């Protein structure tokens, strides 16, 4: 009897299956759909609310174990931060529940928590986080080569646009998406500054192995057409869409 392919799925709540209970996750979440389709032996190490740094670290550890044939890494929002005020205790800046926070002698009321989270978002800009994300990807690519593991990236919540991989036209304004203009503070910088920072961003993004991506500039979030049974996360149709995208990627690249 042939040995089953061993696959690891990593990411945030999208890959964890937020919005479905355990039995429903087995029926509807994209990693289960794919594992059932291809008869894979599957591990899901995704964690709700994960920052991309946390996702990077978990994927690195999964690759170092050298026990998987494929590691899927779904990237999350760019400006998420996990802080740790104590052992096995975390504070998330992307927590949408503005209730009081308390850990031992630390107390933050709901109003102050909202202000703190807004301040952390301002201090944690997307520009630098894109540069860091490219570094995460390239480090994981190196680890995957050393462990003879296939590494596949999924854009879960990344807002970046495909202008990052296109030449800059003479009319700068028409070359850039609204998102890229926002992270460059387009209306408040000179053309020279915009070209300088955008060019640096493009040079960094050009280092990515785009063949490792299922949907590099076409995020799962932007293609979510229905919501899960509980909450606002991707629903049954959306997870099916993601599974179909990955299936097409695997077949095109002759991985299955």
CATH number for the domain spanning 60: value is 3.40.50.1110
**Residue 16 and residue 115 in one domain:** no
**Residue 63 and residue 17 in one domain:** yes
pLDDT, one tens digit per residue, over 185-221 is 999 999 999 999 999 999 999 999 999 999 999 999 9
**Residue 71 and residue 52 in one domain:** yes
pLDDT, one tens digit per residue, over 19-52 is 999 889 999 999 999 999 999 999 999 999 999 9
8 Å CB contact between 164 and 201: yes
**Residue 71 and residue 93 in one domain:** no
**Residue 214 and residue 111 in one domain:** no
Inside any domain, residue 200 = no
Inside any domain, residue 27 = yes
**Residue 95 and residue 111 in one domain:** yes
Give the number of domains in the chain. Answer: 2
Inside any domain, residue 166 = no
Inside any domain, residue 129 = yes
**Domain range for residue 227?**
6-80+125-161+210-252
**Residue 105 and residue 20 in one domain:** no
**Residue 151 and residue 222 in one domain:** yes
**Residue 137 and residue 23 in one domain:** yes
User: How far is CA 246 from each of CA 11, 31, 35, 204, rounded to the nearest angstrom?
Assistant: 15, 10, 11, 25
Inside any domain, residue 216 = yes
pTM, two decimals, is: 0.94
Inside any domain, residue 237 = yes
**Residue 96 and residue 67 in one domain:** no
**Residue 247 and residue 147 in one domain:** yes
8 Å CB contact between 189 and 198: no
Q: Would you state the pLDDT for residue 1?
A: 54
Q: Would you state the pLDDT for residue 170?
A: 85
Inside any domain, residue 194 = no
Blockwise average pLDDT, block size 10, the chain, 256 residues: 88 96 94 97 96 97 97 96 92 79 93 91 94 98 97 98 92 94 96 95 97 98 93 95 98 92
**Residue 12 and residue 97 in one domain:** no
């Amino acid at each position: 009897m042939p040995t089953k392919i061993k696959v690891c799925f990593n990411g945030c709540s999208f890959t964890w299956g937020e919005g479905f209970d355990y039995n429903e996750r087995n029926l509807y979440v994209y990693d289960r759909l794919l594992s059932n389709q291809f008869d894979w032996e599957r591990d899901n190490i995704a964690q709700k609310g994960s920052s991309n740094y946390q996702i990077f670290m978990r994927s690195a550890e999964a690759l170092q174990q050298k026990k998987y044939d494929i590691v899927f890494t779904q990237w999350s929002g760019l400006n998420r931060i996990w802080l740790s005020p104590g052992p096995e205790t975390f504070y998330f800046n992307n927590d949408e529940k503005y209730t009081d926070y308390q850990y031992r002698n630390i107390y933050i009321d709901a109003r102050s928590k909202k202000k703190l989270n807004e301040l952390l978002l301002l201090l944690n800009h997307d520009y630098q986080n894109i540069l860091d994300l490219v570094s995460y990807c390239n480090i994981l690519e190196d680890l995957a080569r050393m462990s003879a593991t296939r590494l596949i990236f999924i854009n879960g919540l990344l807002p970046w646009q495909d202008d990052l991989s296109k030449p800059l036209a003479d009319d700068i304004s028409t070359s850039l998406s609204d998102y890229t203009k926002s992270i460059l503070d387009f209306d408040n910088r000179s053309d020279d500054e915009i070209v300088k920072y955008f060019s640096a961003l493009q040079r960094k993004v050009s280092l990515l192995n785009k063949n490792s991506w299922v949907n590099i500039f076409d995020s799962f979030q932007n293609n979510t057409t229905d919501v899960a049974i509980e909450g606002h996360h991707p629903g049954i149709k959306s997870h099916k869409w993601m599974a179909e995208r990955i299936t097409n990627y695997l077949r095109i690249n002759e991985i299955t």
